[in-house]
Structure 1
Amino acid sequence: MTSTAPDTAAGTSPQTEAQRRVLTVLVSSQILSGAGLAAGITVGALLAQDMLGSTDLAGLPSALFTAGSALAAVAVGRVSHARGRRPGLAAGYLTGAVGSAGVIAAAVAGSPVLLFIALFVYGAGTATNLQARYAGADLAAPAHRARAVSTVLVATTLGGVVGPNLAAPTGRLADSLGIPALAGPFLLSGAAYALAALVLAVWLRPDPLLLARSLDLQQRTEATAQKAAPARGPGLIPGALTMILTQLVMTAVMTMTPVHMHDHGHGTAAAGLVIAIHVGAMYLPSPLTGWLVDRHGPKAVAAASGLTLLAAGLTAASAPADSVALLALALALLGLGWNLGLVSGTAMITDAVPLATRAKTQGMVDVSIAIAGATGGLTSGLVVTAAGYPALALTGGVLALAVLPAVAATASSR
Structure 2
Amino acid sequence: MATDLSVPRTAGRLDVAPIQRRTMRLLFTTQIIGGVGVTIGISVGALLADRVAGTAAAGVAQSAGVVGAALLAVPVTRIMARHGRRPGLVLAYAVGAVGGVLVVLAAATRSVPLLFLGMLLFGGGTAANLQARYTAVDLAEPARRGRQLSLIVWATTIGAVAAPNFASLADRVTTDWGLPPLAGPFAFSATAFVLAAVVLLGLLRPDPLLTARRLAAADAASPPATVPGGHLPAADPDAAPPAVSGRAAAEAPAGGGVGPGATSVGVRASRGAGMRVAWSVVRGQPAARLGIAAVAVGHLVMVAVMAMTPVRLGESHADADVLRLVGIVLSLHIAGMYAFSPVVGWLTDRFGRRAVILGGVGLLLAACAVAGTAGHHTPRLSVGLVLLGLGWSGTMVAGSTLLSESVSAGVRPSVQGFSDMIMGLAGASAAVLSGFVMQVAGYPVLTLLAAVATVPLVALALRPVPTGAPGEED
> What TM-score range do you get, normalising by the shorter chain?
over 0.9
Matches within 5 A, 1:95-110: 95-110=95-110
Classify the secondary structure of the residue corresponding to 1:402: helix
Classify the secondary structure of the residue corresponding to 1:409: coil
Pair 1:413-2:472 in alignment: yes
Instruction: Compute the displacement of 1:395 (Å).
Output: 1.9
C-alpha distance in structure 1 between counterparts of 2:200 and 2:262, whole Å: 32
Question: Of 293, 302, 313, which aligns to 2:357?
Answer: 302
Q: Residues 118, 218 of structure 1: CA spacing in aligned structure 2 closer, same or farther, 3 A cutoff?
A: farther
Q: Which residue of 1 is the match for residue 42 of structure 2?
A: 41
Matches within 5 A, 1:164-183: 164-183=164-183
Give the structure-2-normalised TM-score. 0.83
C-alpha distance in structure 2 between counterparts of 1:142 and 1:225, whole Å: 20
C-alpha distance in structure 2 between counterparts of 1:218 and 1:162, whole Å: 44
C-alpha distance in structure 2 between counterparts of 1:196 and 1:310, whole Å: 35
Deviation beyond 4 Å, 4+ runs, structure 1? 217-220, 226-230
> Which is helix-richer, 1 or 2?
1
Q: Which residue of 2 is the match for residue 251 of structure 1?
A: 303
Give the structure-1-normalised TM-score. 0.94
Question: Of 6, 9, 26, which aligns to 1:7?
Answer: 9
Supply the AA of the counterpart residue of 1:20.
Answer: R
Instruction: Compute the displacement of 1:7 (Å).
Output: 3.4
Supply the AA of the counterpart residue of 1:223.
Answer: G
Supply the AA of the counterpart residue of 2:457.
Answer: V
Q: Residues 218, 158 of structure 1: CA spacing in aligned structure 2 closer, same or farther, 3 A cutoff?
A: farther
The one-character-per-residue Cα deviations of 1:17-50 (angstroms, maximum 9, x if unpaired) are 1100000000010000001111111111111110
Q: Residues 324, 224 of structure 1: CA spacing in aligned structure 2 closer, same or farther, 3 A cutoff?
A: farther
Question: Of 265, 279, 286, which aligns to 2:341?
Answer: 286
Matches within 5 A, 1:85-124: 85-124=85-124
List runs of 5+ in structure 1 lacking aligned partners.
Answer: none
List runs of 5+ in structure 2 lacking aligned partners.
Answer: 221-252, 266-279, 466-470
Q: Which residue of 2 is the match for residue 328 of structure 1?
A: 382
The one-character-per-residue Cα deviations of 1:74-133 (angstroms, maximum 9, x if unpaired) are 111111111000110011011101100110011111111111111111111111111110
Contact 1:234 1:410 in 2 (8 A): no
Q: Residues 181, 356 of structure 1: CA spacing in aligned structure 2 closer, same or farther, 3 A cutoff?
A: same
Contact 2:149 2:345 in 1 (8 A): yes
Supply the AA of the counterpart residue of 2:26.
Answer: V
Pair 1:267-2:326 in alignment: no
C-alpha distance in structure 1 between counterparts of 2:34 and 2:9, whole Å: 34
C-alpha distance in structure 2 between counterparts of 1:226 and 1:239, whole Å: 20
Q: Residues 295, 58 of structure 1: CA spacing in aligned structure 2 closer, same or farther, 3 A cutoff?
A: same
Instruction: Compute the displacement of 1:226 (Å).
Output: 5.6
Matches within 5 A, 1:140-219: 140-216=140-216
Q: How many residue pairs align between the two structures?
A: 407
C-alpha distance in structure 1 between counterparts of 2:260 and 2:363, whole Å: 36
Instruction: Compute the displacement of 1:410 (Å).
Output: 6.5
Classify the secondary structure of the residue corresponding to 2:313: helix
RMSD of equivalent CA atoms: 2.0
Q: Residues 215, 227 of structure 1: CA spacing in aligned structure 2 closer, same or farther, 3 A cutoff?
A: closer
Q: Residues 227, 83 of structure 1: CA spacing in aligned structure 2 closer, same or farther, 3 A cutoff?
A: closer
Q: Which residue of 1 is the match for residue 232 of structure 2?
A: none
Identity %: 39
C-alpha distance in structure 2 between counterparts of 1:168 and 1:306, whole Å: 33
Contact 1:45 1:60 in 2 (8 A): no
Q: Tell which deviates more after alignment, 207-216 or 399-408.
A: 399-408
The one-character-per-residue Cα deviations of 1:318-367 (angstroms, maximum 9, x if unpaired) are 1131x221111111111110110001111111011111111111111110
Instruction: Compute the displacement of 1:263 (Å).
Output: 1.5
The one-character-per-residue Cα deviations of 1:209-243 (angstroms, maximum 9, x if unpaired) are 01111112877432372697864433110011111
Q: Which residue of 1 is the match for residue 33 of structure 2?
A: 32
Supply the AA of the counterpart residue of 1:94.
Answer: A
C-alpha distance in structure 2 between counterparts of 1:42 and 1:218, whole Å: 47
C-alpha distance in structure 2 between counterparts of 1:231 and 1:242, whole Å: 17
Supply the AA of the counterpart residue of 1:408.
Answer: L
Q: Residues 336, 226 of structure 1: CA spacing in aligned structure 2 closer, same or farther, 3 A cutoff?
A: closer
Contact 2:106 2:115 in 1 (8 A): yes
Instruction: Compute the displacement of 1:255 (Å).
Output: 0.3
Contact 2:213 2:263 in 1 (8 A): no
Q: Which residue of 1 is the match for residue 242 of structure 2?
A: none
Contact 1:310 1:401 in 2 (8 A): no
Tell me which structure has the larger Cα radius of gyration: 2
Question: Of 377, 401, 424, which aligns to 1:370?
Answer: 424
Q: Residues 226, 77 of structure 1: CA spacing in aligned structure 2 closer, same or farther, 3 A cutoff?
A: closer
Q: Which residue of 1 is the match for residue 224 of structure 2?
A: none
